Structure 1
Amino acid sequence: MPSCISRRLATVIDWAGIGAECALLLVWKVGDVPGAGNVLSAWIVVSGVFGVGMLLPAVQLRPEDRPLPYAYGWRYVRAFGIALAVALIWCGHGLLGFMCVLGEVGVEALRRREREAWHG
């Protein structure tokens, strides 16, 4: 059975997401726009909560579904996510940085669990 999204779509989603997060951080800290900080904070908190949820073993796709594809350059997307977390911690927002890491770890844990289940 085909995956629910193509690798190209996964690439667009991942790169657009990390690009928007980095842009919001720059606008918030460099441009001094507090509204961008509010949007980024809400986005990262939701990402971290879902990341914790994805760490739970009960969260997985149906066994007949193929695992979600990795985006082209997914290692760079993960590196930008960790760099964003480090930048948040450096700017004095340790809890947001921790939530950002939880989101990254949760997504990677779910994808690895899906691949292991698919490949047996």
Structure 2
Amino acid sequence: MASKIILQLSKALKARTDIKFSILFGSRARGTETPESDWDIAIWFKDNSDAWENLGKKEDIRNQVCKLFAINETKVDIVDLARSELSINATVVDEGIELSEQDSLALAYYYQGVWSKIEEFYWNLNHAA
């Protein structure tokens, strides 16, 4: 995570008090980005009880990132990990770069939970009748 731009993003997200951790994924995490690439940022909020409230927080984070990099809002995708599908979670775990880790235990539980769901998916695929 040596990129100055990624370090700026990491610093901005670490300053937030409403998230437990954030992870960069997609082409920018893989190092295959182009000038047209968007920013894919996965977030685990401290409070996941209110989807509508977290939708507002996602938009706040999107606006913060857009201002930080002076980019259009269509270039930033924010994923709420508590409400995302297994395919997105698997991608985040596989290729993600941790941007902020305000709660390392929550991050460890997240990884463990995703790995468990992936294992269960493949077990069911191979053994279910």
TM class by shorter-chain length? 0.3 to 0.5
| TM-score, L = length of structure 1 | 0.33
| TM-score, L = length of structure 2 | 0.31
Q: Which has a greater percent of helix?
A: 1
Q: Which has a greater percent of strand?
A: 2
